[in-house]
């Protein structure tokens, strides 16, 4: 497993966005991971949407793919998150709670965040978090 998918990347995959779809299909044998934090964001969006049933099925089908591993946010991720957030706060930088916890999961599990969101995740390289922008 090499990549942790950002929530926006998963959503773009669901929408059939060509660049994301091609990247995931090309590297599927390496395995991808999603965190329980990603799932929280996805479920929140699904329940808020007008197509809740359809969106919930997409999530369910996605996490059934054998090459997709769901990482549960545990102690090592919490420690990594606390360290990351405190370092950002000392520098006066803000990050959303979900993005911080996704980044912490990547750091704790030595994964690369696969994202289109260069703005939110791009600046985390200074903290040893690897990011690949698609």
User: One digit per residue, pLDDT tens: the chain, 134 residues?
Assistant: 799 999 999 999 999 999 998 988 888 888 899 999 999 999 999 999 999 999 999 999 999 999 999 999 999 999 999 999 999 999 898 888 999 999 999 999 999 999 987 777 877 887 889 999 88
Interior angle at CA 98, CA 92 and CA 100, nearest 5:
45
The domain limits of the chain are 3-133
Structure tokens at 13: 């995959």
DSSP 116: S
Element (H, E) at 71: strand 68-71
This prediction has a pTM of 0.91
Tokens coding 35: 């965190």
Return the sign of the alpha-carbon dihedral for residues 82, 84, 87, 92: negative
Domain at 3-133: CATH code: 3.40.50.1010
């Amino acid at each position: 497993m090499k990549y942790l998918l950002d929530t926006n990347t998963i959503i773009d995959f669901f929408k059939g966005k060509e660049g994301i779809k091609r990247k995931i299909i090309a590297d599927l044998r390496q395995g991808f991971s999603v965190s329980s934090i990603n799932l929280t964001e996805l479920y929140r969006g699904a329940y808020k949407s007008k197509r809740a049933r359809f969106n919930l099925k997409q999530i369910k089908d996605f996490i059934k793919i054998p090459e997709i591993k769901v990482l549960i946010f545990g102690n090592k991720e919490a420690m990594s998150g606390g360290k990351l957030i405190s370092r950002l706060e000392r520098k006066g930088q803000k990050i959303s709670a979900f993005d911080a916890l996704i980044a912490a999961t990547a750091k704790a599990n030595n994964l690369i965040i696969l994202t289109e969101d260069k703005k939110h995740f791009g600046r985390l390289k200074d903290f040893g978090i690897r990011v690949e922008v698609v």
